[in-house]
Structure 1
Amino acid sequence: MRYSGRFALVGAVIAGLSFAATAANATPAGPGVTGTIIGDETVGDRHIVVREITLPPGQSTGWHFHDGNLIGYVKQGTLSHFDATCESDGVYRTGSHIVEPAGSNHVHIGRNLGTVPVVLDVVYVLPVGSPLSEDAPNPGCDFQ
């Protein structure tokens, strides 16, 4: 599916969700990192969650992976994204989209190396019963 079609689909899914803000489950993240669920719906065998995540300057998401795919939008700031080889696999500025594939072979970390908070709007498309993310050990990188 082309990206424009994918984002149109995500928009349709988001529009169909009920938007009751609730606190999100904690993930292995740095101090001050917050997540708020703004939409939550089960469709067939998929759990679809819309979440806003804020990373203060100098903080990270912690090393993790997802059991389903994620599509994110950088609402503010610049997200630096690293894979398990410790190499950058993307720098996402305000207005950018990021797609994270599913699976334990896609361990990654998102870091805010800038001076303003990073605010992300993220759509999780997960198998029913899966957590939003799965903790993963640092793969040997000299940063966390």
Structure 2
Amino acid sequence: MRTIARELVLSIGATVACLLVAPVADATPIAGVEATTLAETTVADTHYILRELTVQPGGTTGWHYHDGPLIAVVRKGVLTHYDSSCAVDGTYRPGETINERSGVGYTHIGRNQGSEPLVLDVLYRLPVGAPPAEDAPNPGCPFQ
């Protein structure tokens, strides 16, 4: 009985130690974003998704990256786009296009810092089975 109790205590202690030492990579929340899929198709090994995204004032996409490149057009509002260094890497207005690269090395966040809804048409070019976006932790920026 003592051996079982000792093993249980050691196991619990090891688990607690791992939880205290292991870094936690929590995804950042999406807020005020509505996505509507307008069309999608698959050609060979590429899945194409056309979506309309509406981001309310103060809304954010959360930190994320894509498994394939995308192109977007701003229909209404202003998109402020930040890269993982916390710097604004683009401010996009109606009629302007956004080209986003793919991969975890291009983690970014989009924010609507304006007073009206932001509306985007987004075409994703993804590997078959990949989601439109992969959540990522905040890279250390003082905002979400």
Question: Above 0.5 in TM-score?
Answer: yes
List aligned pairs for 1:117-136, cutoff 5 A: 117-136=117-136
In 2, Cα distance between equivalents of 1:73 and 1:86? 23
The change in CA–CA distance for 1:103 and 1:81 in structure 2 (over 3 A counts) is same
Letter in 2 for 1:138: N
Counting aligned pairs with the same residue, the percent is 55
Deviations 1:35-81 (A, max 9, x none): 00000100000000000000000111000000000000000000000
In 2, Cα distance between equivalents of 1:111 and 1:47? 26
Match of 2:81 in 1: 81
Match of 1:65 in 2: 65
Give the TM-score taking structure 2 as reference length.
Answer: 0.80
The Cα shift of 1:28 comes to 4.0
List aligned pairs for 1:31-46, cutoff 5 A: 32-46=32-46
In 2, Cα distance between equivalents of 1:28 and 1:104? 17
Decide which structure has greater helix share: 2
Pairs aligned (count): 117
Give the TM-score taking structure 1 as reference length.
Answer: 0.80
Match of 1:142 in 2: 142
The change in CA–CA distance for 1:110 and 1:49 in structure 2 (over 3 A counts) is same
Rg (Cα) greater in structure: 2
The structure, 1 or 2, with the larger RCO (C-alpha pairs under 8 Å, 6+ apart) is 2
In 2, Cα distance between equivalents of 1:119 and 1:29? 16
Letter in 1 for 2:88: S
Letter in 2 for 1:29: I
Match of 2:10 in 1: none
Letter in 2 for 1:49: I
In 1, Cα distance between equivalents of 2:98 and 2:29? 20
Q: Which aligned segments of 4 or more residues in structure 1 are displaced greater than 4 angstroms?
A: none
In 2, Cα distance between equivalents of 1:103 and 1:28? 19
The Cα shift of 1:102 comes to 0.6
Match of 1:7 in 2: none
SS at match of 1:57: strand
Give unmatched runs, 5+ long, in structure 2.
1-27
